Each structure stands twice: as structure tokens, then as C-alpha cells.
Structure 1
């Protein structure tokens, strides 16, 4: 579920408590946790609603005017879903990426990266590429190693999950943890 930065900021401030979407069927369910730029969001409810029954209070809870909400919903087809959500805490990857790799973690990280490399070795090359080229666009990095952009970005997200890389406004860089890992 994609949310724009102003919406994320409103959720973090407690001013926005829901989002509305047109989906054939819900794409999230209560209990879903979404990692975002402002932290982890928790989905607490997903309810089908009638678009004509939406009120100004509903729109305000989504950080919109009623006219803007109806205009947005008019662009799609299918049922309208109200997704109730709130900020549930910081992104755990933030703390992870700022920590050095402890010796007992190195073995586990080595094993995870080896599993990633099983069919096609890419982790060492990608970590080195990002270390040498911070802030370079993903398509440019992917082209340097002869890869398609989408699979390259998926792989970088795997490294990000381990706290080894972090996204910049443009491109990536190694986190402190990633630098620690490469230093060995």
C-alpha cells in the first residue's frame, strides 16, 4: 500500500488515521505492518464503505477534503475500502544499520548472503558497487553490472533488510553496519 510523504507525516503526527482505496479485494488486512519512511504503520481495520456515504469527517481522517477524496475515488473501479492505521513505532532497520557487526552475527550474515548467492552470486559485487558509488541511481548501478533495474533493486532491498544498506533520496549507500561487515 503506497502512501505519499504528506500522508505519512500526517499519520506520524496522529492527524491522519485512515486511507481510502478502490480495490477489487483488500490488499492489506488487520494486523499488517508496513515499513515506511516515517516508521512502521499498523493496519487495525479494513472495511468496505459506500463512496456516497463518506462524510467530511471521513475525508478529514484521511487528510483530505471530501471533494478531493471523491475525486480520487472516482478514478478507480471496484469497492471502496477504508484502511484504519496508525504509527506503531520506528523502523527496526534504522537501529540495525547503525550497529557494528558483532563476531557472532558475522557467521549468520555470511550464511544469509551465501543463500542469496546460491543461484547467482551478487551480494559481494553489489555491496562493493554501492560502497564505491553512494548516491548513484539504481538504473545506473544496475547497468554497470549488466543487470535489469527491477531485480537489482529487489536484491538491494534484501541487503537493506539485513541493515547493510540504506536508501538515499537518490541511490543508496552502505550503512555503518554494511561498512563494518565489509571491513571484516
Structure 2
């Protein structure tokens, strides 16, 4: 429910509040949430009356004005309003895990975990099949991958998320990739390491730009923020499929890394 611009502002420390209409709190102090910018921690939760809100509340929530904040809370007035304190709590630990090539002991632990996932499945062993499928068909749409193994897309995605929790896969706007950790697990089961296409150096474009924009950029060879920075916003906006929202989100993602569109 937190928009990308608000996530970036929370990470930067310029936004530290959110307001919600909930029948009862859905988070507690100390709750940590994984987001597109890393971990956010809930620092406070308190019920408030909308009439008591002030301009400072709106500023700290990233709202354009107090009136806009109150308007956002106008719906579902039968539910109380809650003020939630938020703070950036660091990068997603799965990022470091994905990059960590496992030791022999860690490989044994990972394989034991995969065995348990297979054993608990009602449809048989799936973990190695799914890792191999993603490895051989990177950046392919989840529905297309699921169809190759006769699975429903929703169930297939749910299983891939289990592999992601182990640091073995990465989710893209379109499809998936094996992480270096996942590649090591697959290679350990093969007679020799698999030869893979070299990945582009740099920071991948964020998932939140949407599949149409991702696909359009990919078609012109732009897959990283560093490659985006070689173009002007006008150049990319002229590509069919790259709309204003994608342009804004790319700008925000680049700003976090000290990058910008050419000419900006």
C-alpha cells in the first residue's frame, strides 16, 4: 500500500508516518516489512481522530497537504484512523544471501531444506525442477514457465517464493533469475558447471516500472539503471510501452544510486 515515491522518502528519512483506516491494527511496534527499498520497521501505532491531524502530520506522511491527507482518510469512516510510525531498517537480508555462494556445509543444509519442501508437497518433487527451469529460461514469464511443467501459475509463483526465501532466485518485472547462490546449488548437482549467458554489469531496472516498460527497454538493450542513465528521459519516453510512471520510477531508482537521466 506504500507507493514507490513514499518508500524512497522513508528510506531517505523525509517521511516517517503513514495513516490508515483499519478496523483494528494490522501491524505492531517492531513489525518489519520487506519492500522495494529494503526493510521498513514499524516504530509506533496509535489511534487518532482525523480532526486532530495537523499540517506537520501531512508533511511527515508525504501528503501534499493536510486537506489531501484528510481526503485520503475520508473513505471507510466506520473504521478508526491509525497513525503508524515508520523507519528504514536496512537492506533486504535476502540480497546479501543471494550473492553468497554456499560452502559445502551450506550446500548440504540447502539440499536438506529442498528435500523437505519436496517431501511435504502433494504433487511430488518440484524444487530442483523449478530451479532448473528458471536457470534454462531466465526472464521468461511465470505463466509460460508454469505451463511448461503443467502447473497453475498461482501455485507455481508460490513455490518460487519459497525458493526466493532461501536466496536461490531473484524476481524480475518479467520472470525470474537464479541468484549466484541458486546457480551454485544447481551446478553442484551437475557433472560440470553450466555455461550461462553473461549478465549485464550494473543495477537491474526496478520491478515496479511494470512489465510493458521492462519489455520495451529490454528490446532496445536497456536492462540496468546504468544503461538507463545513458539516455534522456525524452528518449526513453518515446519508446512505446515506457510511460510517465515508468519514467518517474526509473528516475527515483537512479537518484538512490547517484544516477540521473542524460542531461539532468
Count of residues in correspondence between the two structures? 183
SS at match of 2:89: strand
SS at match of 2:44: strand
Give the distance between the partners of 2:22 and 2:143, measured in 1 at CA.
Answer: 30
Partner of 1:171: 175
Q: Do residues 139 (structure 1) and 143 (structure 2) align?
A: yes
Give the distance between the partners of 1:180 and 1:69, measured in 2 at CA.
Answer: 49
Judge which range, 136-145 or 165-174, deviates more: 136-145
Partner of 1:72: 72
Partner of 2:61: 62
What's the C-alpha RMSD, in Å, of the aligned pairs?
1.4
CA change 1:69–1:113 in 2 (3 A) is same
Q: Do residues 21 (structure 1) and 20 (structure 2) align?
A: yes
Match of residue 165, structure 2, among 157, 161, 164: 161
Structure with greater strand percent: 1
Partner of 1:151: 155
CA change 1:54–1:140 in 2 (3 A) is farther
> Larger relative CO (CA 8 A, sep 6+): 1 or 2?
1
Superposed counterparts of 1:7-18, under 5 Å: 7-18=6-17
SS at match of 1:136: coil
Judge which range, 71-80 or 92-101, deviates more: 71-80
Partner of 2:48: 49
* TM-score, length of structure 2 as denominator length: 0.66
Moved segments of 4+, more than 3 Å: none
Could you list the runs of 5+ residues in structure 2 that have no partner in the other structure?
A: 189-264
* Shift, 1:76, TM fit: 3.0
Q: Which has the larger radius of gyration?
A: 2
